Amino acid sequence: MSSGKFQITVNNNLNPYQFLLTLVHEIAHHVTHQKFGRVQAHGKEWKTVFQHLMLPFIHPEIYPKEILPHLANYLKNPKASTDSDVNLSLALRGNNAAVGKNFIFEIPFGNFFVFKNTVYQRGNKRRTRYECLNTSNKKVYLFNQNVEVQLQETPN
């Protein structure tokens, strides 16, 4: 903000564990900017600050034992998004997709699904992502394996 104040916003659809991690992530950006000025958004300075800010929260009183090992592993080299770490992302969601949704890795090969009002057909898995055919424009897109989609029985 131009008045010298700072504002951090966090999505309101996160569970408490996702919220805390996201809030500390954003606070780390602020602290990094204050300490180092203009540096890479998720560079080594930010990673170090983020790791140090998260340390007090790596306890079973705060994060459940199902999340802690994945969180500790992620914090060894944090990325811009927790979704880049599939195990952590799934653990933070309780290994459950939202009601009426499936993770793309649960969709059988060749089956259809809807993502953002567009129908796709699930294809082969590349290392960490799935090739999916957009049935409208016939282009192939890559989807992270933990994206939530809605299963569709037929292509239309």
| pLDDT tens-place string over residues 127-147 | 889 999 999 999 999 999 889
pLDDT for residue 7:
86
| pLDDT tens-place string over residues 15-34 | 999 999 999 999 999 999 99
Residue 10: what are its φ and ψ, rounded to 5°?
-135, 140
Judge whether residue 1 has pLDDT over 70. no
Q: Which of 50, 37, 36, 112 is nearest to 79 (CA)?
A: 50
For 103, the token pair is 């993770």
pLDDT for residue 122:
97
* Four-residue CA torsion sign, 17, 20, 23, 27: negative
Burial of 113 (0-12, 13-18, 19+ CB in 10 A): buried
| pLDDT tens-place string over residues 23-79 | 999 999 999 999 999 999 999 999 999 999 999 999 999 999 999 999 999 999 999
pTM of the entire predicted model: 0.80
Other beta carbons within 10 Å of 67: 22
Exposure string (b/e) for 25-46, b if CB count within 10 Å is 16 or more? bbebbebbbeeeeeeeebeebb
Residues of the chain above pLDDT 90, percent: 74
Structural domains present in the chain: 16-92 (no CATH), 102-152 (2.30.30)
pLDDT for residue 126:
93
For 7, the token pair is 């504002």
pLDDT for residue 2:
59
Judge whether residue 109 has pLDDT over 80. yes
60 Cα distance to chain centroid: 22
How far apart are the C-alpha atoms of 108 and 3, rounded to whole Å? Answer: 53
DSSP 8-state secondary structure symbol assigned to residue 126: -
